[in-house]
């Protein structure tokens, strides 16, 4: 469905955390096979590592039931800094990916049926942001790093969530038209380091859909109910908030008619 890289800034040096969506339900019906997609992405990752000796790439797989780190270029394999060499990188990444998919599938068997077939993007995003925070805390250079979220979206519909995320964080959202040339899209749009972005002509957001989505069905809604404790959004009335567990009172219409009897001056 999508792969969202997040980036950090220090001159030309970048830390790119790539969130790869490995949802099997999507990939089984996609025009671009997962293998072909991977080959584009691997070359993209290698290009980022080639651009600057200090660049770092981390890959997190976003699965159907779980998320996990499958590659970190800073982890030394042989006490060397140059382990981002392609053959080594490929084999370790692919191996971890295979293990991850297997584990993810196993978890599916324990899950009850009827769940919406979406990937755990929020989980992997949280993992990515925590990782970035940790790196910065040990680096002591920028206390508040700027982390734009770029999203590369593949698939039929549009993702309002990704569009909003990219717009708000100052990243780039793009849906490649021609998936055969995915590598070229990745190189042209997503490989730019943060500093150069202010000079480059990148796709601008056209008509971002800012509507909220309800928490129960993930539909975009204009009017809905909001929990006053945690601000979760629902499209229809619930007895209890599914996020924070606070019990809601009666619905607005019933409550007004009940208090009418108590007040001296009825309110409309």
Please tell me whether residue 118 adopts helix, strand or coil conformation: coil
Residue of 29, 79, 114, 223 that binds other proteins (CB under 8 A): 79
Comparison of 79 and 263: residue with beta carbon closer to other proteins = 79
- Find the helix or strand (DSSP H, E) in which 15 lies: strand 15-21
- Per-residue contact flags (x/-) with other proteins for residues 159 to 178, judged by CB under 8 A: --------------------
Comparison of 47 and 101: residue with beta carbon closer to other proteins = 47
Please tell me whether residue 57 adopts helix, strand or coil conformation: strand
Return the number of other C-beta atoms located less than 10 Å from residue 224's C-beta: 17
Confirm or reject binding of residue 95 to other proteins (CB under 8 A). no
Six token digits for residue 98: 């295979």
- Per-residue contact flags (x/-) with other proteins for residues 36 to 75, judged by CB under 8 A: -------x--xx--xxxxx---------------------
118 to 147, contacts with other proteins by CB under 8 A?
140
Confirm or reject binding of residue 191 to other proteins (CB under 8 A). yes
203 to 262, contacts with other proteins by CB under 8 A?
none
φ and ψ at 250, to 5 degrees? -70, 165
Of the CA atoms within 13 Å of residue 166, those in its CB half-sphere come to 26
11 to 40, contacts with other proteins by CB under 8 A?
11-12
Confirm or reject binding of residue 180 to other proteins (CB under 8 A). no
Of the CA atoms within 13 Å of residue 242, those in its CB half-sphere come to 11
Query: HEC profile for 131-166?
Result: HHHHHHHHHCCCCCCCCCECEEECCCCCCHHHHHHH
Q: Are 224 and 234 in contact (CB under 8 A)?
A: yes
Residues that bind other proteins (CB under 8 A): 10-12, 43, 46-47, 50-54, 78-82, 85-90, 140, 183-184, 187-188, 191-193, 195-196, 198-201
């Amino acid at each position: 469905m999508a792969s969202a890289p997040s980036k950090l800034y220090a001159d030309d040096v970048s830390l790119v955390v790539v969130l790869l969506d490995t949802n099997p339900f999507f990939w089984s019906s996609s025009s671009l096979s997962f293998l072909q997609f991977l080959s584009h992405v691997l070359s993209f990752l290698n290009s980022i590592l080639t651009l600057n000796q200090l660049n770092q790439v981390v890959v997190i797989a976003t699965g159907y039931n779980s998320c996990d780190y499958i590659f970190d270029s800073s982890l030394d394999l042989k006490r060397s800094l140059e382990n981002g060499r392609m053959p080594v990188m490929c084999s370790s990444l692919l191996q971890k990916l295979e293990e991850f998919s297997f584990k993810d599938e196993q978890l599916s068997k324990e899950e009850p049926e009827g769940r919406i077939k979406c990937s755990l993007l929020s989980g992997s995003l949280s993992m990515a942001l925590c990782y970035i925070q940790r790196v910065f805390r040990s680096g002591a250079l920028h206390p508040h790093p700027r982390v734009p979220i770029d999203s590369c979206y593949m698939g039929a519909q549009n993702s309002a969530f990704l569009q909003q995320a990219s717009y708000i964080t100052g990243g780039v959202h793009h849906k490649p038209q021609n998936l055969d040339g995915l590598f070229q899209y990745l190189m042209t749009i997503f490989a730019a380091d943060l500093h150069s972005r202010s000079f480059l002509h990148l796709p601008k957001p056209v008509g971002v859909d800012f509507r909220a989505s309800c928490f129960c069905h993930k539909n975009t809604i204009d009017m809905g109910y909001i929990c006053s404790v945690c601000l979760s959004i629902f499209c229809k009335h619930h007895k209890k908030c599914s996020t924070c567990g606070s019990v809601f009172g009666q619905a607005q219409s019933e409550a007004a008619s009940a208090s009418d009897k108590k007040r001296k001056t009825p309110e409309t």
